[in-house]
Every structure is written in structure tokens, then in C-alpha cells.
Amino acid sequence: MQFTLGITGDLLTNEGNPCFGLQPLEALYKEKKILVEWMDPSIQILSEKETTKYDAILLNSPRLTKESINPKNNKVKIVSRFGVGYDSVDLDVLKKNKIILTNTPNAVRRPVAVASLTMILSLSGKLMIKDNLVREGRWNERTNHMGVGLINKTLGIVGFGGIGREFVKISKGLFKNIICYDPFVGKEEMKNLQVDKVDFDEIANSSDFLVILCDLNEKTRGMIDSTFLNKMKSSSYLINLSRGPVVNENHLIASLKQNKISGAGLDVMTNEPIEENNELLNLKNTILTPHSLCWTDECFDSIATEAITSILNYFNNNKIINRVV
């Protein structure tokens, strides 16, 4: 019996090629009973048209909501999320319909950790500002834009999961101290990586560079708000590589405009793509990237391989390692 896999079309380049290359797909093509199809790239929310057609879905940006699934004619058995986050997927509807959800936590650890460090180095070196000095013929203004050294600074991390730990490994030699807020990880576990566990107020008060790497859920949504931002140093920087709604964007904009913090590096926003009239676009003390700073050929090859492996494990009745529900 044919097993049909649908891959969301937003993973295709403008030329119609898989953005992660062809190699990860080879394992699928070896299975003669698996039919691989690409969905329409314009799909933003999955509908019954997709969930009644495919046995498995390799899902990137499109959302899966409760309206996506009709229990009477649903065909989907497994959804393999391309990436680590799954806030775009309605977990309740998957559970009710006994649909498996997987993600790719191992593939993104190093790339997101490197992207976090990229943001810090770009902000501390005032990279974007200095790039503009050259392009705008303002070379002699360089003395007005001195960078910020890291050797006596404190790195703060919100979220000590796989990405947070990887980030510590590649950056701990650059900072004087590393502190972390994560209510689900013990003090000794952090100590093993030379990280000091602190509470929510302390991470705000003491961080010179604060990197957000936690999951988005009802407890973390909007937790970086004006109350938190007002406790940060005026010389500090906020970096968000998790999900946009973890930060109250309006409160952050106000803090940046009033110079309550020195700057921000955001790879994620509340609304994606960012609105054309979003005030963040006019702020010179920000670096904004389109939720893709970690995207490299190596990263996407690893993510695709991990996501496809979960689908193949289901198809072959093998253990599914990265199961979320």
C-alpha cells in the first residue's frame, strides 16, 4: 500500500529545488512504497486538503491548527517538524487524533548557538553601524562608534536546554561570567558547565549580553516585558533567538527608543514576516534577521536528515527518537 509524504513548499528555493539539497531525500527515494510530494509554497495553514491526502507531513513554516484536522477523514499519522520549535502546531488536536509529532533538536543546537554568538559579536563590534559608515562615505566618524569588549562582561542566558548548553561551550572563554535562568534545571547541573544559576530578577540586573533561548509557551509568552527591561543595565544588549512573542515587542521598542538598554539583536519577531510599519525597522541600535540567522547548508542538511529519519522510523516501525507527542 502506498505511503504518501507531503513536504511543505516553503522549503523550496525560487528555482524549485529543496533548500536543504537533494541528499537527505535519497533515503526516501529508496523506499519504493513511499511517494514524496511537494505542497503549494503559498500554504500558510494546513487544511483538510493536505491532512486527508498525506500519511506523513514534513512541516516547516505553515501552521497546523484544530481546523486542519477532520477526525472523520484524517489520514495523517505523523508530522515531522522541521526545526526544534513546535508552537505553530496545535498539540491538543494531534493528541486527540493520535498523530505523532517529532522535531529536530539535535540538528539545530550548534547552528543556533553559533547564531547567538554572531549576534553578540555583531552588536558588540557595532558591525552594522560601521558597515554603513563605509557605504555612506562617513569613514572619519569611526571614533564615534567604539565597540564593546567582552572579557569583563557577564553573559546571561534564559533557557538551559540543548541549545543553551551548546552556546555555553562555544562562548565561555569570551566572557568573565556566565549566568543562566531556567527554573527546570538544577544549580549543580549548570555548575558542571561553569554556569551560575540565578533567578529572573538577577538575570535582568547582571547581564551585559542577555540571550533568550527558551521555548515559547503560556508561561514564557511576553515574560520579557517593561518590568524586566527596566531592571537591565542601560549598557546591556538583548538577543532573541527563540520565538518573538517571548519578548513584549512594544515594551522592547520603548526601551530601545528611550536608551534604557543599548541595543537588541532579533532573529525572531512577534509577527513574521515583520510588518512594514514596525518601529524596529527604524531603530539604529538593532540588528534584525528574518528567523534564519542559523540557516546554513550544514544546518539544513542536518535538520532535513533528522526530520526524514523520524518519518522513516515510523514507516519501518522503528523507535522514534525525537517524539514530542
* pLDDT tops 90 at residue 277: yes
Residue 6, all three cell numbers = 507531503
Residue 28's pLDDT band, with cuts at 50, 70 and 90, is very high
- pLDDT bucket at 252, cuts 50 / 70 / 90: very high
Q: 178-213 burial string, b = 16+ CB within 10 Å, else e?
A: bbbbbeebeeeebeeeebebbeeeebbbbbbbbbbb
Residue 140 — φ and ψ, nearest 5°?
Answer: -70, 0
What was the pLDDT predicted at 1?
79
Catalytic residue among 81, 109, 165, 291: 291
Candidate list 243, 249, 251, 306, residue with the active-site label: 243
Q: Are 170 and 116 in contact (CB under 8 A)?
A: no
pLDDT higher than threshold 90 for residue 92: yes
Place of cell 562615505: 137
Closest CA to 104 of 278, 311, 288, 315: 311
Whether the bond between 245 and the residue before it is cis, its omega within 30 degrees of 0, is no
Return the CA Rg of the chain: 21
Mean of per-residue pLDDT scores for the chain = 97
The CATH fold assigned to 148-288 is Rossmann fold (3.40.50)
| CA pair distance 143, 240, nearest whole angstrom | 29
234 close to 259: Cβ distance less than 8 angstroms: yes
pLDDT in tens, 112-141: 999 999 999 999 999 999 999 999 999 999
* Residue 238: Cβ-neighbour burial (10 angstroms; 0-12, 13-18, 19+): buried
**Percent of the chain predicted with pLDDT > 70:** 100
Q: Is 305 helix (H, G, I), strand (E, B) or coil?
A: helix
Alpha-carbon gap, residue 263 to 122, rounded angstroms: 11
- 278-305, pLDDT tens digit by residue? 999 999 999 999 999 999 999 999 999 9
- Distance between CA 94 and CA 98 in Å, rounded? 6
Domain with CATH 3.40.50.720 in the chain: 3-106+296-315, 148-288
Annotated catalytic residue 272: yes
Mean pLDDT, residues 195-224 taken together: 97
Residue-wise pLDDT for 30-48, tens only, equals: 999 999 999 999 999 999 9
pLDDT of residue 89: 97
Query: Is 243 among the residues known to form the active site?
Result: yes
The answer to whether 175 touches 156, Cβ cutoff 8 Å, is: no
Kindly tell me if the per-residue pLDDT of 4 is higher than 90.
yes
| 166-196 pLDDT per residue, tens | 999 999 999 999 999 999 999 999 999 999 9
Q: What was the pLDDT predicted at 249?
A: 98
Beta bridge partners of 323: 102
Share of the chain above pLDDT 90, in %: 99
Q: What per-residue confidence (pLDDT) applies to 324?
A: 96
Is 20 in contact with 303 (CB distance < 8 Å)?
yes
- Identify the bridge partners of residue 180 per DSSP, sorted by sequence position: 157, 197
Concatenating the DSSP letter of every residue in 33-100 gives: TEEEEEPPTT-SB--HHHHTT-SEEEESSSBB-GGG--TTT----EEEESSS--TTB-HHHHHHTT-E
Active site residue: 37, 67, 141, 272, which one?
A: 272
Q: Hey, what CATH topology would domain 3-106+296-315 get?
A: Rossmann fold (3.40.50)
Residues in the chain: 325
Residue 118 C-alpha cell reads as 554572531
Rounded CA gap, 18 and 16, in Å?
7
Round to whole Å and give the CA distance between 71 and 90: 14
265-284 average pLDDT score: 97
